[in-house]
Structure 1
Amino acid sequence: MLLDIDLQSETPIYTQLVHGIVEGIARKQLQPGEGLPSVRSLAADLGINLHTVNKAYQLLKQEGYVQINRKQGVVITMDAYPAADDAYRSRLREQLRPLIADAICRGVTKEQFAEMSQAVFEEMLPKEEK
């Protein structure tokens, strides 16, 4: 599993881990039932604190992307991921607000933002879904 972690980024490392794993799931690089490295192993591989990895795994569990148990460790959820309900859409809208505001302040047009969003969305889709 390749995770691109930027230790100099303003984005917290645990957030980068969550985003990287969710992207791996979206791209179908990580499959349901597949195990993730142990907290200690991933922390050692990335040269980060094990509490950082643990926090990322706990957030992924709360969002329904992974299951954590003592025998199997951390496993990509076999069940369907939670649907995009009204609560999710509301949270997504709130997360987009600062991105859009920053883009507007920097002179990005609505069309440019839409084009970038479309391009990133297409990049995330697995090859068989394009």
Structure 2
Amino acid sequence: MHIQIDPNSEIQLYKQLANRLIELIAMGELKNGDTLPSVRTMAADLGINVSTVSKSYHELEEKGLIELKPKAKAMIIGGHQREIEEGEIEKALKPIVAEAYARGFEEDQITTLFNRILKQWK
């Protein structure tokens, strides 16, 4: 599992970690039943604060992608335990697409970008 965090990024560290773990789940590198390193181990490996990792793990738990149990490692559940409404995904994508239009992207450019991203998980 390769995770790289950029301390100079505009994206908060906990969000970078959460996003990377989501990508690893989507790519099948992390599968249902796999466990993540403990919060302390992940923090030490990445050189970040324990609370940052904890916040990432809790965000993934809220999304239904991992299960956290006291005194146990976080386990990947891949979202299969929770039905995700199409509206939730649309709500998350809408501001991104709006920003692309606001920056002058045309519909075909946005579609090309979206399809390029989709190919990563096919």
Q: How many residues align?
A: 122
Q: Counterpart of 1:124 in 2: which secondary structure? A: coil
User: Percent of aligned positions with the same letter in both sequences?
Assistant: 33
Instruction: State whether structure 2 residue 12 is matched by structure 1 residue 12.
Output: yes
Against the structure 1 CA distance between its residues 78 and 118, is the aligned structure 2 distance closer, same or farther, given a 3 Å change threshold? closer
User: Could you tell me how far apart the structure 2 residues matched to 1:15 and 1:27 are?
Assistant: 18
Is there any run of 5+ residues in structure 1 with no aligned partner, and where?
126-130
- The equivalent of 1:118 in structure 2 is 115
- Of the structure 1 ranges 42-51 and 60-69, higher mean CA displacement relative to structure 2 is found in 60-69
Q: CA deviation at 1:79?
A: 7.4
Q: CA deviation at 1:71?
A: 4.8
- The equivalent of 2:67 in structure 1 is 67
Q: Counterpart of 1:73 in 2: which secondary structure? A: coil
**Counterpart contact for 2:63–2:79, Cα < 8 Å:** no
User: Could you tell me how far apart the structure 1 residues matched to 2:16 and 2:31 are?
Assistant: 19
User: Could you tell me how far apart the structure 1 residues matched to 2:70 and 2:93 are?
Assistant: 36
- The equivalent of 2:35 in structure 1 is 35
Q: CA deviation at 1:98?
A: 2.4
Please, what is the CA RMSD of the aligned residues?
A: 1.8
Is there any run of 5+ residues in structure 2 with no aligned partner, and where?
none
Spell out, residue by residue over 1:54-82, the C-alpha distance to the aligned partner (whole angstroms, 9 max, x if none): 01111111111111123531111277243
TM-score normalized with structure 2 length = 0.89
